[in-house]
């Protein structure tokens, strides 16, 4: 039997990062929290079935790191002690649509590690903090309202809670459970560019002239992209990404050949200098999908949706973990203010997803593989975004700083329309600057590759 506390008890469905962050926020407000998790959680940081994207590359954006650290003080130091890599995001070679970004313009610090290690360390801190426990291998089947709160129905029993938080992810059954309660669940908004990813973990058998990541963005003219990030224990995670019919597969030789099709040889040169640690793993659940639960007029008190259960983003933009951490902050802050956990709080949680949703869907709508046609407004915004990308490819300080602020969710998308940026764009039309040269770190990488293999392999 699953035993929970009396009044002040909460049940969180799902022990992924959104569930863990929410649980620690609730515990900080005095709740006794029980997390119901369908998986058997691994003892060591390894990918698990319930998080199908766990083997893929992950980035905790700067705002997400700040939010996670506020929920779990000391988390950053713990991650670094566990071997996570740390580097200046501004120094990371980034090939945008119109050229390289200037790596001499400082950016936000990046803590880079695999998703399993991040989840493992967060879970350990949450449980060790007290007031939160995780019950594994529990399949939640539905919800039932009572005079005192809620009953969460599992395969074998019902678990009571004053408050229920659904953090069960993209495969959440909440729309079905709402229908069973007689509530009209909203249809989801979906934007799908049909991107697919393949990742592989590598190790460096010898020192590299590079200790930061590499990003090569897919464009409308070149539907292939890639990413490499240093992670814990001196390893690297390398990701290939393609649109529509160009999505990469599991074949190791094909994985290497994929990088030779990119607009720059940096990633294929890096892969040639590394040794694989595991197999190629693919991921195709990349659509943006959002439920407007905050618009349900008779939304019940004591029920909340967070993380991917509420709004799931194309993972290439690295926004999901950050939004989940920000929502947990909002949850804890709102309860401290005395706000009833109902529709108003659900509206606040939805607002935490707004910036990420705007950015992710705008980027995916402009892809030729998208299911939907962009509106006239979307097309106008896209033309402006292309000009900003052109500015960044010419080393413009104002455009580059604004982009990094917005990308890291440290500033709203409106920042990209500031008067200063508009003035910068006008000046660029009158006095265009030359393109940013290929970063010196990549020139050194190419030189090492040639010393080992001769002329470009």
Candidates 95, 404, 117; CA nearest to 237 is 117
Domain architecture of the chain: domains with CATH: 9-58+114-191+287-357 (3.50.50.60), 85-112+195-285+373-457 (3.30.70.2450)
pLDDT surpassing 90 at residue 200: yes
Q: How confident is the model at residue 282 (pLDDT cuts 50, 70, 90)?
A: very high
Kindly write down the DSSP assignment for every residue of 105-150, as one continuous string: S---EEEE--HHHHHHHHHHHHHHTSSEEEE-S--EEEEEE-SSSE
3-class SS of residue 74: coil
Neighbours of 183 (CB within 10 A): 17
Q: What is the mean pLDDT of residues 70-98?
A: 95
**β-strand pairing of 32-36 with 9-13:** parallel
What lies within 8 Å, CB to CB, of 24 at 6+ separation is: 71, 72, 125, 126, 129, 132, 328
| Contact (CB, 8 A) for 166 and 11 | no
CA distance 19 to 160: 17
**Residue 2, pLDDT score:** 53
Q: How confident is the model at residue 426 (pLDDT cuts 50, 70, 90)?
A: confident
Residue 220 per-residue DSSP state = S
pLDDT surpassing 90 at residue 375: no
Say how far residue 197 (Cα) sits from the centre of its chain: 14
Rg of the chain in Å (alpha carbons):
23
Q: How confident is the model at residue 5 (pLDDT cuts 50, 70, 90)?
A: very low
Neighbours of 206 (CB within 10 A): 9
pLDDT surpassing 90 at residue 311: yes
Residue 438 per-residue DSSP state = P
């Amino acid at each position: 039997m699953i035993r929970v506390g009396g009044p002040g008890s909460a049940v969180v469905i799902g022990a992924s990062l959104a569930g863990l962050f929410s649980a620690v926020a609730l515990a900080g407000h005095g709740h006794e929290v029980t997390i119901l998790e369908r998986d058997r959680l691994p003892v060591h940081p390894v990918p698990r079935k319930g998080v199908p994207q766990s083997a893929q590359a992950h980035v905790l954006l700067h705002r997400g790191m700040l939010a996670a650290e506020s929920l779990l003080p000391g988390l950053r130091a713990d991650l670094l002690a566990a071997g996570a890599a740390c580097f200046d995001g501004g120094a990371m070679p980034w090939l945008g649509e119109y050229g390289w970004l200037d790596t001499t313009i400082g950016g936000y610090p990046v803590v880079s590690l695999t998703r399993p290690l991040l989840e493992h360390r967060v879970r350990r801190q949450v449980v060790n903090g007290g007031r939160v426990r995780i019950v594994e291998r529990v399949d939640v089947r539905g919800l039932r309202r009572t005079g005192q709160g809620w009953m969460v129905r599992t395969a074998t029993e019902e678990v009571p809670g004053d408050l229920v938080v659904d953090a069960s992810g993209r495969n959440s059954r909440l729309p079905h459970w709402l229908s069973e309660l007689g509530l009209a669940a909203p249809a989801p908004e979906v934007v799908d560019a049909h991107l697919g990813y393949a990742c592989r973990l590598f190790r460096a058998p010898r020192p590299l002239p590079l200790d930061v990541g590499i990003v090569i963005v897919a464009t409308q003219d070149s539907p292939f992209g890639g990413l490499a990030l240093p992670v814990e224990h001196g390893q690297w995670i390398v990701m290939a990404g393609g649109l529509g019919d160009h999505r990469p597969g599991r074949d190791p030789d094909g994985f290497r050949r994929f990088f030779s099709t990119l607009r720059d040889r940096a990633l294929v040169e890096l892969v040639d200098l590394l040794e694989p640690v595991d197999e190629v793993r693919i991921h195709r659940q990349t659509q943006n999908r959002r439920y407007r639960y905050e618009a349900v007029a008779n939304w019940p008190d004591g029920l909340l949706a967070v993380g991917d259960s509420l709004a799931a983003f194309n993972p290439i933009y690295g926004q999901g973990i950050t939004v989940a951490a920000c929502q947990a902050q909002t949850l804890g802050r709102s309860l401290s203010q005395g706000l009833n956990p109902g529709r108003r709080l659900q509206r606040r949680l939805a607002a935490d997803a707004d910036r990420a949703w705007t950015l992710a869907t705008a980027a995916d709508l402009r892809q030729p593989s998208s299911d939907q046609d962009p509106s006239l407004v979307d097309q106008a915004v896209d033309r402006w975004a292309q000009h900003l990308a052109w500015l960044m490819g010419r080393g413009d300080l104002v455009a580059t700083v604004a982009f990094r602020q917005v990308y890291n969710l440290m500033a709203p998308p409106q920042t990209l329309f500031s008067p200063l940026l508009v003035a910068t764009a006008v000046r660029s039309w009158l006095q265009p600057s030359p393109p940013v040269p290929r970063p010196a770190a990549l020139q050194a990488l190419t030189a090492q590759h040639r010393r080992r293999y001769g002329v470009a392999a």
